[in-house]
Amino acid sequence: MASDRQAAVTGAADSLPQAEPEERLSSIPARYWWMLALLFTVNMVSYMDRMALGILLQSIKLDMHLSDTQLGMLTGLAFLLFYCFMGLPLARLADRSSRIKLLASCVGLWSIATAATGSARSFTHLFLARVGVGIGEAGCSPSAHSLIADAFPRRLRTFAIAVFQTGTALGVGTGLIVVGLLGQYYGWRTAMQAIGLAGIPLALLLFFTVREPPRNEQEHEAKESAWQSIKALLGRPAYVHLLIAMSLAGVANSALTQWLPTFLIRSFGMNMAQIGASLGTVTLFTGIIGMLGGGLAATWLQGRDVRWELWLPGLAMLFSAPVYLAAMFSDSVWFVIGLKIPYNFLHAISSGASFGAVQVFAAARQRGMAISMVQLASSVAGMGLGSFLIGWMSDMFEPSMGKESLRYALIVVSVAMPLSALFYYLSARRCRVDRVG
């Protein structure tokens, strides 16, 4: 009897999920942690460049006599135009060639294009500069996610991707503070030029100090065409539902990222330095804690049930909707900024867990394409159509609502959040069937 009980205990202990030696943090080579640190910085600089235009919109509007519809085109359609055309080809290139060289080239390109925005003398020049930023940034996430997936084992991958995604919060938060101060005291042109040129040294550091990790596949494995990869991914309902969920989440997130500074200037009379300091501080702390916390929580919870990798971001999106609406209907500027704390935290949790989930529905040679398709769909929905439609609706509402027109345009997009939660739930229902990574 005693021996039977001992055997049962031993068997139960053996059945518990144990981290393999190669899946412990201490087993990861130092060069991969250095690579992750640089990828984190690349993501941070990328979002600083994106955020720069958002906080400067009102100054650009007054200086160049633009409408809100044109501002919506700059923040969305201009960036999206070549992001759409270049995203999938660059993702395919990332799956087949040197990701480090591709990423360094993209960082250099978008940095130069961001700096060129500050020298624009017409709407056309502004538009073309933002197209250049879109081309450069299209190659960032597919390359970075593919590198992380090959450098970190499955059990640590969600955490590593969450670290990379934390650069988003740091980039947006730092961008708000730095660009707000530069724009307030030196003008929007100087602010854009300074933020753009800061990326050039990073591109050189990436090119000369990072070594490409080996891909987690046998070299003799049959290669897929781009269409075969796309067809395989779209043939997995869990991935399709996740793509839709993240796209809808992108609508709400892009709405606040691009338009909230302008809303605070028009409805509450804040200046750029005040907006940068308040929103930047909120974004820094809530975004970093939320993304790392979301990644760690998903890593822990998926040991109990793999569907938590999708349930967690779905719940975060569901709870963010009432917080968003309360902020948009408020007449107190500090209440709006205060509600940004739980809102940012919930969105950061969603983002930190979601990108790790994308990888489990893609084979190794499909990872760059899988991330690019998600980024493309999110950008089309959020930074493209969402940002443009907010500007267009604001112009349409202005005759009857005056300076509050932007508030009601922002309220309309809140419907995206519960819809996003629904598609996370649908993805979780198919998760166990469609997992391949």
Give the model's pLDDT for residue 202: 92
Residues 370-379 as b/e (b if ≥16 CB within 10 A, e otherwise) read bbbbbbbbbb
Residue 153 CB-density burial (10 A; 0-12 exposed, 13-18 middle, 19+ buried)? middle
pLDDT at residue 14, as a whole number:
41
pLDDT of residue 224: 63
Please name the amino acid found at residue 161: I
Question: Do the beta carbons of residue 415 and residue 115 sit within 8 Å?
Answer: no
Cα separations (Å) of 67 from 57, 124, 170, 268, 398? 10, 14, 30, 20, 11
For the chain, give every domain's residue range.
29-213+226-434
Structure tokens at 182: 């530069």
Domain 29-213+226-434 homologous superfamily, CATH: MFS general substrate transporter like domains (1.20.1250.20)
pLDDT per residue of the chain (437 residues) written in tens, 0 to 9: 444 444 444 443 443 344 444 455 556 788 889 999 999 999 888 888 877 787 888 899 889 998 888 887 887 666 666 666 676 677 778 777 788 999 999 899 889 989 999 989 889 998 888 888 877 777 787 788 888 888 888 777 777 877 887 787 788 788 888 888 999 899 999 999 998 888 899 999 999 998 888 876 543 344 566 777 788 888 888 889 998 998 888 887 777 777 888 899 988 988 888 888 888 888 777 777 766 666 667 667 766 777 788 888 889 899 999 999 999 999 999 899 888 888 888 877 777 677 777 877 877 677 777 877 887 787 777 766 777 788 888 899 988 888 889 999 999 888 889 999 999 999 888 877 777 75
Q: How far is 315 from 297, CA to CA, in rounded Å?
A: 13
Residue located via tokens 């309220």: 411
